[in-house]
Amino acid sequence: MRLEIRTRLVPVGLALAVAALAGLAVGWTAGWARAAVWAAAATAAAAFLAGARLGRRERGAAEAPALEAARLDAARAREERDDLERTLAHDLRSPLGAIVNFASVLQEDFRARLDPEALGIVARIRRAAESGLRLADGLARLANVSRKAFLPEPVDVEALVREAFDAAPGGQRVELSVAPLPPAVADRALLAEAFSELLRNAVKFSAQREKPHIAVGGRRAAGGGVVYWVADDGVGFAPGESPRLFRALHRLHPRDEFPGAGVGLAVVRRVAERHGGSVWAEGDLERGARFFLALPAEGRP
């Protein structure tokens, strides 16, 4: 019915506009012609606007099911991803743990019976299995971040950052400077997880510096949200790598140079997503890096 009304209104508006132009051609100086022009123009404009409004309503009504379907598909995909991560983390631990244990037995109880080459092979097997266990632990952390109950509350972010830094391995030889940080409304446990990963990452990649330094800052953003950053003077990264840094299992450096499972920054991104926020990074090779975490005003949109 609305579509029928709209299709009728538009030709009427056009016809009135044409009639007005005809009146203009006959005699602009005549008062009746000027009045007809203005009346027809106003009627035509109203008809066009009415048709446009009806068209927008119809398009919105037609798009709503598609948007809802897309939302459901995205939610289903996230659930399947979380289930896969949790399943992999669980199913990998048992066989990998057995490999580590048997390799340890070979190294400790059968060392005298194995030649140097065999011992080297056993050592590589054990290192590979231990790396797999770290990966399983990382996948478990990712799954836990997604499935944990979300409990927003006011958070003293400056105190949280200092606690996370004190627990970071290797942080004793790193100089930390923390600017006054605005508080946030967030899930404290999830936010602590994010800052722990960011600070551990900064410590690890600046460890080769003679006097490594990490700086943490923050500011209020438009709309009442907050933006925090963790900056280091470490090895940095090529600017083109920035979009890939927060992907799970993505590594920029060899594992023997910088150990890890490749999920720390993915955990940070997952925490930001749980809050309705975002993450990004800036850096240059051998000139350090800066990682940003933005949160909305009330913990989630």
Least confident of 45-54, 104-113, 286-295: 45-54
Indicate if the pLDDT at residue 58 is higher than 70: no
Confidence of residue 61 (pLDDT cuts 50, 70, 90): low
SS3 per-residue string spanning the chain: CHHHHHHHHHHHHHHHHHHHHHHHHHCCCCHHHHHHHHHHHHHHHHHHHHHHHHHHHHHHHHHHHHHHHHHHHHHHHHHHHHHHHHHHHHHHHHHHHHHHHHHHHHHHHCHHHCCHHHHHHHHHHHHHHHHHHHHHHHHHHHHHHHHCCCCEEEECHHHHHHHHHHCCCCHHHCEEEECCCCCEEEEHHHHHHHHHHHHHHHHHHHCCCCCCEEEEEEEECHHHCEEEEEEECCCCCCHHHHHHCCCCCCCCCCCCCCCCCCCHHHHHHHHHHHCCCEEEEEECCCCCEEEEEEECCCCCC
The model carries a pTM of: 0.66
Q: How does the average pLDDT of the chain come out, rounded? A: 77
pLDDT tens per residue, range 72-130: 555 555 555 566 556 666 678 889 999 999 999 999 999 999 999 999 999 999 999 98
pLDDT band at 248 (very low <50, low <70, confident <90, very high): confident
Q: What is the pLDDT at residue 202?
A: 93
Better pLDDT: 282 or 300: 282
pLDDT at 35: 40
Note the pLDDT tens digit of each residue in 177-190. Answer: 999 999 999 999 99
Q: Express each pLDDT in 70-84 by its tens digit.
A: 655 555 555 555 665
pLDDT at residue 299, as a whole number:
67
